[in-house]
Each structure stands twice: as C-alpha cells, then as structure tokens.
Structure 1
Amino acid sequence: MLKNQNSISTRYAWMSGLIFVLLLLAIKANSALLLKLDTGIIGIVQDSLPEFETTLMTLVSKIAEPSFAIVYAVIIAAILWFMRLRVDAIWTLATIGGGDVVAYIFKEIVQRARPRWNQIIPESGYSFPSGHTFGAVIIVFFILWFFVSQIRSTTIQKVSQIGLIIWVVLVMYSRIYLGAHYPSDVFGAFFLAVAWLAIARWLYKLLYNFVAKVVEPRSEGRHSQH
C-alpha cells in the first residue's frame, strides 16, 4: 500500500532537516534571540490558565505520550499484517522504533533543560526535541498514508486530514501550555519527524524487494514495481 502513496518531497525533507539543524545549533549556542522568542511565546500561551483548558491540554498530552505512540504503531502494524501488507507492517515498526532512537540521541546531544516556570505537569529528562510532538507527527502520517488515503470520498478525506492536522497542533500547543517544553522544542520535533519520515520512505523503497522476499516468499516476483 505504502509503495503507491506519494512520499514527502525532497525539497520539504531537506528544508525540514535544515530547520531542525539550525534550531539545534541555536540551542547549543545558547542563542539569546531564540530564548527571547521562546519565553515570549510561552508567556502568551500561558497568559491565562482556566481550569477547563488545563484539563483539556493535560488529556491531549496524556493521549500523545511517546509510550502510547509505540502502542498505536503496533496496532497499525498488526492491522497491516492482517491485511497481508507485511512489508508495510515491518516498516511501520522500524520507523517508530528507529525514530525514537534518533530523537533520543539528539536529546542526549543537546541536553537542554526543560522550562523552569509554571510547569503544570512535572517532567523529567531533556527538553529538545519534544517526544510527544515527534510521536504524534509520525503516527498522524501513518494514519494518512495507510488509512485516510484509502477513503473514496474526497470530502471525508479532507475532513480527516484537517482533523489530524488539528490534533498535531493541539499536541504541540499542549506541551508549551503545560510548561513541559519551549516552543523551539516542539517545532524542532516536528521538523525532525518530517525529515525522519522522508529517510524512512527512502529506505522503504530501497529495501522493499529484499524484505518482501523474506516475509512474503509466495508473493515473489510481484514486488518489483514500487
């Protein structure tokens, strides 16, 4: 199925990777301008903390937990395996697993402390990039490629796409609102996720025939076009 879907364009992939690297370098250099932008945005987002919005953002953040993203990916992979899309299922698990490793490595490289004020939900670990945002973007792309793209109704497709975009925005907003991340953390995670997905799609295309021969031996000969 994935082999028939449009991939992330090379231009967007390189652009996302470049923006991520620039953010990383600015954070490592303790850029005063970036910190000013970060704190200014946090001030606007946290200007008022009504009980209802706090409850909603807490719920959004809980649903988007990185550990849950792995569970969501396993469920998606299981569905694909049941549909006999075994290469796609393996790719799904490899992409989420490999992506988590990549995000963790960058966290250890940057070692950015989390914001120290108005943290509604105490968080541990480093701040850049946001694991919640990274996982949410990966899962949303899985849903778009594997399921939304199969919907015949253009209207329902568009509504689904808009709903998924809103979800990612809510996750990003919630992490800033709850004081768990700087804005540059969530934007960095977004661009890292897009770049990683582009790399994963390239690997999918490169290794498709090899993996297909291993997991779908009776289908040999029908995997050459992708």
Structure 2
Amino acid sequence: MLKNQNSISAKYAGISGLIFILLLLAIKSNFGLLLKMDTGIIAIVQGSMSSFENTLMTVISHVAEPSFAIGYAVIIAVVLWFRKQRVDAIWVLATLGGGDVLAYLCKEFVQRTRPQWNQVIPESGYSFPSGHTFGAVLIVFFLLWFFVSQIQSSRLQKIGQIVLIIWVVLVMYSRVYLGAHYPSDVFGAFFLAVAWLAFARWLYTKLYDLVAAYVEPRAKGRHSQH
C-alpha cells in the first residue's frame, strides 16, 4: 500500500515547487537569459540529428503521450483495485487527473509558444510545462511505489528503478530533441510533478480513512493501521 512507501520529503517537495514557480515567472516575464540558455541547449541537442535518432525519439515521445498516460494510470488502478488496494487505485486516478488539470491551467496562464524552428514533429498548443514529461514522471512514481518496491530481489528492484529513471530522462530529452519544447519546459514539468505528487501524498494520508470507509467497508475502521 502507498502508506507503506517512502514519501517525497517536505524539503524536496518545497524545493521542487519553488523551482517550478521561479521558472514559471521567468518564462511569463520573457526573461532573456533563460531564453538564451534554452536555445543554446536546443542547439547542442539538435546538433547531430540522424534518421535513427529521429525515429527513436519519435517512438519514445509517442509512447509517452499524455493520452496514453491516462490509459497507463487506468491499468495501474485496475490492478490495484483487484489487489484490494482500492483507496490506492482511486488515488492514482485522482492524482493523474488533478495533475493534468493543474498542468493545463499552468499552460493557459503562461501561454508560451513552442520553439519555432526544426520541429521534427509539428506540435500545437502551449509549451510550458511539458505534458509528456509531467505524465511520465507521475506514471514512473506510481510504478516505483506500487510495483517495483514489491520486488523481493534488491538487485532487480535497483534495476527497475534505474530503468524507470532512464525512461523519464529519455522522455525529457526526446521532447527537446524533437523541437516540441524548450529545456525549461521539461524541467518545469518535472519539478511540478514532484511537488504535486508530494501534495497528493499528503492528501492521501489525510483522506485515507474517509475514502476507505466507502470503498473498503469490510475493514471496519482499521484503515489507519496500514
């Protein structure tokens, strides 16, 4: 159960939230230095593009589509539901759904246009924060907390953690490589996701017994002992 997993510390959650807010304000105010850093990193990332890399990054980006993230979350929730972790299942869907709304509101507030050059895959909509990155971070944490942490072998558990971390890095890299986002878009999405997950975990502990009383009535008030 989620209650048995290590949470994101308040320190890291606070730092992540602060970095996200600073990025949001810098982008909203068209801070010149940040734009120079963004364009400089894009030039480096796209400096040696090849057809193989184009295909690989395109596949990674497609797999990490925000619409697919919803499907992944539903699958995770269904598995948890049938494992009798019903509060956890509801939390997964609520966390992804609420996070998507939050990310959308941030996009509408900032209204940052996407990079205007060398887009391998034409993208529409606003750029900050990256929806692909935001969804990928949430799904990876779900997998880490509910499945990877349950692996008995510490070696396999470590391999699983490394693979999932690499996946997030690849998603972030692919969005910059494909010209769909500035680097600050993907980093902003990462820090927003971490802060949001920490807040969602806090809500989980506060509302667990209330939700469990409806979806796990047979527990008869024993939820707080988990």
TM-score range, shorter chain: over 0.9
Q: Which runs of 5+ in 2 are unaligned?
A: none
Residues 4-43 of structure 1: CA deviation (Å, up to 9, x unaligned): 1110000000000000000001001101100000000000
SS of match in other structure, 2:225? coil
State the TM-score, normalizing by the size of structure 2: 0.99
For 1:207 and 1:225, the matched residues in 2 are separated by 14
1:41 aligns with 2:37: no
Deviations 1:105-156 (A, max 9, x none): 0000000000000001000000000000000000000000000000011100
Letter matched to residue 37 of structure 2 = L
Q: Which residue of 1 aligns with 2:16?
A: 16
Corresponding residue of 1:25 = 25
- The aligned amino acid for 1:212 is A
Query: How far apart are residue 221 of structure 1 and its match?
Result: 2.1
One-letter code of the match for 2:65? E
Maintained 8 Å contact 1:212/1:220 = no
CA shift for structure 1 position 92: 0.4
How many Å separate the matches in 1 of 2:103 and 2:210? 27
Q: Secondary structure at 2:73's aligned position in 1?
A: helix
Residue 163 of structure 1 and its aligned partner are, at CA, apart by 0.4
Of all paired residues, the percent bearing the same amino acid is: 77
* Residue of structure 1 equivalent to 2:111: 111
Residue in structure 2 matched with residue 5 of structure 1 by the alignment: 5
- What residue number does 2:182 align with? 182
Aligned equivalent of 2:196:
196
How far apart are residue 49 of structure 1 and its match?
A: 1.1
Paired position in structure 2 for 1:86: 86
Counterpart of 2:120 in structure 1 is 120
The answer for the alignment partner of 1:139 in structure 2 is: 139
Large movers: runs of 4+ above 2 Å:
none
Q: Which letter maps to 2:2?
A: L
8 Å CA contact retained: 1:2, 1:146? yes
Gaps of at least 5 residues in structure 1 are none
- Indicate the SS of the match to 1:224: helix
CA RMSD of aligned residues (A): 0.6
Match of 1:208 in 2: 208
